[in-house]
Amino acid sequence: MRAFRLSGNRVHFVPGWWLALPGTLVLASCSGNQSSLAPAGREAEQIARLFWWMTAGAVAIWLAVAGLFFYAVRRRTEPRSERWGRLLILVGGAVVPAVVLGGLLAYGLSMMPPLVNRAPPGTRTIAVDGAMWWWRVSYPGPDGRTVELANEIRLPVGEPVEFQLTSSDVIHSFWIPSLAGKRDMIPGRLTHLALTPVRTGVFRGQCAEYCGTSHALMSFDVVVVEKEEFAAWLAQQAAPARAPVESLAISGQKQFLANGCGACHSVRGTPARGLIGPDLTHVGSRMSLGAGILPNEPDAFLRWIAHTPTVKPEVHMPAFGMLPPEELQALAAYLEGLK
Amino acid sequence: MMSDGPDIQPLPSAPPAELQRAQEERLLRAWKMPSGWRYWSEVNNTVVGLWYVAGTFLFFLFGGVLALLMRIQLAAPGNEFLSAEMYNQVFTVHGSVMMFLFAIPIFESIAILFLPQMLGARDLPFPRVSAFGLWCFLLGGIFLCGSIFFNAAPAGGWFMYPPLTSKYQPGIGADIWLLGFSFIELAAIAAAVELIVGVLKCRPPGMRINLIPLYCWYVLVAAVMVVFAFPPLIAGSLLLEIERAFDWPFFDPARGGDPLLWQHLFWLFGHPEVYIIFLPSVALIAMIVPTFAGRPIVGYSWIVLAAVGTGFLSFGLWVHHMFTTGLPGVSLALFSAASEAVAIPTGVQIFCFIATLAAGRVTRSVPMLWVFGALAIFVLGGLTGVMVALAPFDFQAHDTFFVVGHLHYVLIGGAVFPIVAGCYYFFPLINGKKLSVRLGKVSFWLAFIGFNVAFFPMHLTGLRGMPRRVFTYPPEAGWDVLNLLSTIGAFILAAGLAVFFWDMIRPKKKQPLCERNPWNAGTLEWLAEMPGKKWGMRTIPEIDSRYPLWDQPNFTRDYDEGRFYLPDAEEGKRETLVTSVIDARPVQCLRLAGPSFLPFWAAITIGGAFIFGTYHWWWPALISAVLGLGVTLVWLWTGTAFIPEKEQKDVGLGLTLPLYESGSKSVGWWAMFIVMLADMTAFICLVFGYFFYWTIHEDFPPASATGPGVFWPGVAAGLLTGAWALTALARRWNKRDRAMGFYAGLLTAGALAVAGGAALIAGPWLTGLDPKSHVYPAIVWALVIWTAFHIGLGVIMQGYCLARRLAGRMTARHDIDIANVTLYWHFTVITVVITVAVIAGFPLVK
């Protein structure tokens, strides 16, 4: 929108043109797959509604106070009386805030119990353990056994879930802004977060408590799908790893075991049963790598394995850049194939 | 107007001109600044305050540059301007410097600079303590800021949560934070003690409690808050440092500890801290607004009540920093409600300012411009504060850039802008010249626009999912434009502040002096001549109004001619008046300490103990501590509790006052009392720790615990009660001049104290409590060592009193030393009784 328009021989200043700026800002700011203002979960929806009401109130109050200030300082012949002033203080400083805050508390606190309480028994429970700087995820499997994965969560739309949150080292915070508020993961304690996704899509979660050097690089993908798709996915995750078929991948599996990767990583169905690092049984079918910081591509696997501390400073995994390029390619092909 | 008591009038006629000259000359000589390198030994508040303010602004610049570095790094996704390791140090040091080396010291330094003049006093009651605080601040600050140049700065965030900081950050960064800031916090408490005693006890006669300038009320409230808010942080820092250095598991869940205890202790400090920052800054607005409205403040009592109410309430809000830790809904609801409630007293104050402007005739000026900016920004910050106070919304906003936006709106609007307004307003009191109107306006608009461009988008950035303390972010997140905007705004803000700083430091030799009381204000500090004289006050006036320069007829003339109290310095000493708390009746003529390097050496040696301890150089640390003790004893011996050459002095207007008071009439006793309140608060926090662990364990003390038993703690309690009783008796005997009784009593008290301390340590020692094994032995040992340390100090104090009496520096009449030491022992015996009840008694009853 142009600030000026030509009319005849004169230039007219378009009033209100500048409103477009914050307007665009606001519109631009709401969207995103990691945005609490583009809710996809019941809890996030309620909180977003609360936010918009509060914002409207805040704008109104700010304008009122600013208006009063300008009224107070403008040049006048007669100053207002002290009695008027005291009334202003009483009403504006005490009565109106008390009423507004009382109402706000009633609204806000009434929506709190489902956000803090435990979900009813029988709710699907997903265990997430925060580590520096990745997420260990455990689902109850279709056959009763636990399904281990890492850095990705899939949820059936419309169904409540409860996350059981722990940490094995420092304080992390589990946060999926599009779905719900966050909950801290505190060593020595068990916390819970209940939420219900209401539309399908791919969202992003991120650690929200400073947890050391690569705190900024600790994210995860959240995929909300239809119930049938979810069941299929869970069954596939529960299954052991696919055996590699083409020669590069077969060679990669040999390299994987020979280089000791199995000491830290599990690939179910192979001798690799390490529990220190993320489970890699189906890493090839994840949305991203490295806890949400790399795309799931062979190149990314290469970068991660060869230059680990460059990708994620001070990460606990040692780099394997000393391996010859063919071995690295083979490893990448193998892991890519673990779908 | 005064309603009861005699209406004291100034002298009906001026003293003869030669007498006035002679008085002024003697005053100037008594208050003369030492020359050459001895200049640095000055302790006059006008000098110390100025250095303190200057140091604070330098740290502010340092913190600001760090912020610009952060903004450069975040201007684009995936930026590599700063590495992750460096960025994490930068944001930690930025926050820590701004909170500990700017926001608190600026309130204390401005108060040191101006409080005495606002209260018609010549100086604060303990000038050397102010100087000590300054040197501690400078030493600790340089130590901390210097670390970043060695890549050894703390990197745990300014609130340093364990277990990250206890177990996962080897290296000395975290230790520098813990020890460096604990050292500075002790200095901050010392300054707070002085400000409290100054406001309560060193006012001009007639300045009853309801006539005190609002700035002084605010400073009083903030200083009292410091006394109770800093100790929880000191206690927590002690525990965290002991865990880091000696592996005692206070925050290690594997051995019974809990990271959440740190959060409670930190935020018990952290929340009041932000009000400690806000209240003295808004106090500047409370002084500026009446001047430019040309009328007294409307709603004085309400502002006072609101400030006090905010102070109290702020201690009940801390859990709102912990909403996402999984605490029960009831707690969250209570703390949400309390956090919302604090908006009411805050709002009352703002409306009082608006009402005053509306009821007056407003003069536009640069200070008022910055006040407008302050209120505009702060109110917005307060409104986002109301939002995050509501737990459900905080679940989304916590630990995101929304909070970064909120906190900068309230801190920059509530502290920085008022402080700049105060600089423009009070600058003439520094050197008699005004700052530039043009530069004031330019800097304001740059700062105001730049600030909003920088920080307003952050609310959106945070709700769009960007957490705090991230050194970078991915391009797909869609946060680039918002971050770039914030970076541009930050540089505009920096430009504005740079213009302001230039205005302050530019040479003003060619600029003419401004007229006296250039703004036509009504309060006492504007009696100053342009440029001000080192004596602070020509004479201590009698007051019967909140705005004496407006209300009391011929006030300035009477002041200039010395028609009030203490117009002279006949003995060549620096003096001011001590008055009663409520009615400000004069009760003592206080002789103030003069220039000395002892506070400097005390700061160096005591600071050395902390600094050497950071590197684990235990012997140098111990030696430094001992030297620090020695310097302190020399300072006390040579600089306090002088027996005056005469009992009474004529202070003018027909009034004679004692020169020496002891016990609850003496300012030193008050200082000891307030220091001990702070000390007890830290101790109670340790006790809170013990019971916190009890609440989170089913079995506490654990069944396998072997100690500390009942016998040895019981013996200790008995012996130490005896030591305390004998100390109190010794004071009585000294008063009755029974010298032998005094010496015998105090010596026995000392022996009992040593034995008692040993018995207390014997409890956990002989029952084999290993503090590394589990948090129960650790917290028991912590309580025992704290108590034993205080007993040790108490024994040194008893020895000091013995020496003072032997040397004739303490007599039956002049007994400040034993009075203060007895007070210390009252608190110590309470500490002993509580420690014994907890470690020996609680296991029996639980």
Residues written for chain B: 846
Instruction: State residue A23's pLDDT score.
Output: 56
Task: Tell me the nearest-neighbour CA distance from A257 into chain B, angstroms.
Answer: 30
In the 8-state DSSP scheme, what is residue B587?
E
How many Å lie between the alpha carbon of A307 and the closest alpha carbon of chain B? 16
A319 and A272 in a common domain: yes
Q: B465 and A177 in contact by Cβ < 8 A?
A: yes
SS (H, E, C) B195-244: HHHHHHHCCCCCCCHHHCCHHHHHHHHHHHHHHHHHHHHHHHHHHHHHHH
CA-based nearest residue in chain B for residue A177: B465
Instruction: Determine contact: B806 vs chain A, CB below 8 A.
Output: no
Q: Which of residues 448-487 of B touch A (CB under 8 A)?
A: 457, 460-461, 463-465, 467-474, 477-478, 481-482
Instruction: Name residues whose C-beta falls within 8 Å of residue B34's C-beta, 6 or more positions apart in sequence.
Output: B41, B42, B595
Rounded distance, CA B821 to CA B818, Å?
Answer: 5
Confidence of residue A100 (pLDDT cuts 50, 70, 90): very high
Answer yes or no: do A281 and A315 share one domain: yes
Q: CA B497 to CA B612: how far, in whole Å?
A: 36
Model pLDDT for residues B236-268, shown as the tens digit of each residue: 999 999 999 999 999 999 999 999 999 999 999
Beta bridge partners of B515: none
- Domain check: are A23 and A62 in the same one? yes
A93 with A197, same domain?
no
Smallest Cα distance from B582 to chain A, Å? 26
**Paired tokens of B298:** 């409307």
Check whether B50 has a pLDDT greater than 60.
Answer: yes
Closest CB to B88 among A29, A36, A213:
A213
pLDDT at A21: 56
The helix or strand, by DSSP H or E, that contains position B472, with its residue range, turns out to be none
Query: How far is CA B827 from each of CA B669, B673, B791, rounded to the nearest angstrom?
Result: 13, 9, 11
- Interchain contact, B375 vs A188, CB within 8 Å: no
Q: Is the predicted pLDDT of residue B232 greater than 50, yes or no?
A: yes
Kindly state the average pLDDT of the residues B720-736.
Answer: 97
- Exposure string of B656-692, with b = 16+ CB inside 10 Å and e = fewer, is ebebbbbbebbbbbbbbbbbbbbbbbbbbbbbbbbeb
Is residue A172 a contact partner of residue A212, using CB atoms and an 8 Å limit?
Answer: no
Could you tell me if B8 and B653 are in contact, meaning their C-beta atoms sit under 8 angstroms apart?
A: yes
What is the pLDDT, as a whole number, of residue B533? Answer: 86
Cβ of B392 within 8 Å of Cβ of A36? The answer is no
Q: Do B379 and A93 touch (CB under 8 A)?
A: no
Contacts of A208 in chain B (CB under 8 A): 398-400, 467-468
Return the percentage of chain A with pLDDT > 90, whole number.
Answer: 86
**What's the pLDDT score for residue A4?**
43
Rg, C-alpha atoms of chain A: 27
pLDDT-above-90 percentage for chain B: 95
Percent pLDDT > 70 in chain A is 91
Which residue of chain A is at minimal alpha-carbon distance from B355?
A85
Output the pLDDT for position A26: 56
Match 């310095």 to its residue by tokens. B569
Residue in the block written with tokens 């914050």: A22
Q: Write down the pLDDT at residue A8.
A: 45
Strands A201-206 and A219-225: antiparallel
| Minimal CA separation from A170 to chain B, in Å | 5
In chain B, which residue's Cα lies nearest the Cα of A97? B344
Chain centre distance of CA B586: 27
Residue B817 to residues A100, B103, B555, B813: CA-CA distances in angstroms?
Answer: 55, 35, 40, 11
Label residue A233 exposed, middle or buried (CB < 10 Å: 0-12, 13-18, 19+): middle
Banded pLDDT at B839 (limits 50, 70, 90) = very high
Do B392 and A75 lie within an 8 Å CB cutoff?
no
Could you tell me if A251 and A329 lie in one domain? yes
Q: Do both A209 and A276 map to the same domain? A: no
Q: Give per-residue pLDDT as tens, B187-216.
A: 899 999 999 999 999 999 999 999 999 999
The pLDDT, as a whole number, for residue A85 is 94
Q: Does A316 touch chain B (CB under 8 A)?
A: no
What are the beta bridge partners of residue B590? B576
Whether B298 sits inside 8 A of A32 (CB atoms) is no
State which H helix or E strand residue A138 sits in. Answer: strand A134-140
For A194, the closest chain B residue by CA position comes to B326
The minimal CB distance from A94 to the residues B169, B348, B359 is found for B348
Listed residues A116, A148, A182: the one ending a domain: A116
Q: Where a domain ends, among A238, A265, A291? A: A238
CB contact under 8 Å between B260 and A189, yes or no, is yes
Q: Which helix (H) or strand (E) holds B430?
A: helix B428-431
Average confidence (pLDDT) over A198-225? 97
Confidence of residue B2 (pLDDT cuts 50, 70, 90): very low
Same domain, yes or no: A79 and A167: no
Does B399 lie at the interface with A, CB-CB under 8 angstroms?
A: yes
pLDDT of residue B715 exceeding 90:
yes
Both A226 and A130 in one domain: the answer is: yes
Contact A65 B379 (CB under 8 A): yes
Q: Nearest CA to A223 among A239, A214, A215, A234? A: A234
Query: What mean pLDDT do residues A103-124 have?
Result: 95
Residues A211 and A274 in one domain: no
Cα–Cα distance, B3 to B816 (Å, whole number): 35
Mean pLDDT of B549-553: 94
DSSP state of A89: I
Closest in B358, B393, B469 to A85, CB measured: B358
Q: Kindly indicate the confidence band of residue B787, based on its pLDDT and cuts at 50, 70 and 90.
A: very high
Count of CB atoms situated within 10 Å of the CB of A27:
9
Amino acid at position B369, single letter: L
Mean pLDDT of A70-95: 90
pLDDT confidence of residue A24? 56
Return d(Cα B404, Cα B459) in angstroms, integer: 8
For residue A334, what are its two tokens?
Answer: 């193998």
End-to-end CA distance of chain B: 59
Average pLDDT estimate for B467-472: 98
Which of B85, B348, B372 lies at the smallest CB-CB distance from A213? Answer: B85
Give the CATH number for residue A328.
2.60.40.420
pLDDT at B5 over 50: no
Residue-wise pLDDT for A165-195, tens only, equals: 999 999 999 999 999 999 999 999 999 999 9
* Same structural domain, A41 and A17: yes
Encode pLDDT of A137-146 as tens digits.
Answer: 999 988 889 9
Residue B253 CA: distances (Å) to CA of A135, B267, B687, B703, B783: 20, 20, 19, 18, 20
User: Which B residues, 301 through 330, put their C-beta within 8 Å of a C-beta on chain A?
Assistant: 302, 306, 324-326, 328-329
Taking alpha carbons only, the member of A61, A58, A63 closest to residue A92 is: A61
Range of A271's domain?
A: 247-336
CB B332 to CB A209 under 8 A?
Answer: no
Look at residue A1 and tell me whether its pLDDT is greater than 60.
no
Q: What is the DSSP string of A172-240?
A: EEE--TTT---EEE-TT--EEEEE-B-S-EEEEEE--S--STTGGG-EEEEEEE-HHHHHHHHHHHHSP
CB A174 within 8 A of CB A130: yes
Res B691 pLDDT > 70: yes
- Asked if the C-beta of A177 comes within 8 angstroms of chain B's C-beta atoms, the answer is yes
Could you tell me where the DSSP H helices lie in B640-666? none
Q: In the prediction, which pLDDT does B1 show?
A: 41
| Nearest-CA distance B841 → chain A (Å) | 28
Is B380's Cβ below 8 Å from some Cβ in A?
Answer: yes
**Amino acid of residue A189:** R
Beta-carbon contacts below 8 Å between A and B: 279
Residue B287 pLDDT exceeds 60:
yes
The model's pLDDT over B411-424, given as tens digits with 9 standing for 90+, comes to 999 999 999 999 99
Of the two residues B96 and A1, the one the predictor is more confident about is B96
- The ipTM estimated for the assembled molecules is 0.95
Of residues B732, B758, B763, the one with CA closest to residue B746: B732
Answer whether residue B439 shows pLDDT above 70. Answer: yes
Encoded tokens for A279 = 């489970």
Domain stops at, among A116, A136, A154: A116
pLDDT of residue B536: 85
Lowest mean pLDDT among A91-105, A189-203, B2-16: B2-16
Q: Which residues contact A271 (CB under 8 A, 6 or more apart)?
A: A257, A262
**Looking at residue B257, what is its pLDDT?**
97
Closest CA–CA distance from residue A90 to any residue of chain B (Å): 7
Instruction: Give the mean pLDDT of B635-655.
Output: 93
Residue of B nearest to A292 (CA): B474
Residues 6+ positions from B652 with CB-CB distance below 8 Å: B11, B539, B564, B565, B566, B567, B568
Task: Pick the closest to residue B816 from B643, B665, B641, B671 (CA basis).
Answer: B641
Strand pairing of A10-13 and A4-7? Answer: antiparallel
Contacts of A302 (CB under 8 A, 6+ apart): A328, A329, A332
Distance CA B826, CA B424 (A): 47
How far apart, in Å, are the Cα atoms of B634 and each of B189, B590, B597, B672, B675?
22, 21, 11, 18, 20
The interaxial angle of helices B618-639 and B775-806, nearest 10 deg, is: 40
How much is the pLDDT for B397?
Answer: 98
Closest by Cα among B340, B450, B456, B465 to B409: B456
Share the mean pLDDT of chain B: 95
Domain count of the fold of chain A: 3
Over residues B751-768, mean pLDDT: 97
* CB distance A281 to A148 below 8 Å: yes
Which 8-state DSSP code applies to residue B547? S
Chain A contact for B78 (CB, 8 A cutoff): no
d(CA B574, CA B43): 11
* C-alpha gyration radius of chain B: 28
**B644 at interface of A, judged by CB pairs closer than 8 A:** no
A11 and A104 housed in the same domain: yes
Q: List, for residues A2-55, the tens digit of each pLDDT value.
A: 444 444 444 444 445 455 555 555 555 578 899 999 999 999 999 999 999 999
Mean pLDDT check: name the lowest of B12-21, B220-229, B300-309, B715-724: B12-21
Is the Cβ of A104 closer than 8 Å to some Cβ of chain B?
Answer: yes
Which among B156, B324, B463 has CB closest to A35? Answer: B463
Q: Would you say B579 and B596 are in contact if contact means Cβ atoms under 8 Å apart?
A: no
- With a CB cutoff of 8 Å and minimum separation 6, the contacts of B258 are A188, A189, B251, B692, B693, B696, B775
CB contacts of B481 in chain A (<8 Å) are: 28
Q: Please tell me whether residues A257 and A217 are part of one structural domain.
A: no
Q: CA-CA distance, B734 to B783, in Å (whole number)? A: 33
Structure tokens at B162: 């364990």
Q: How far apart are CA B391 and CA B395, in angstroms?
A: 6
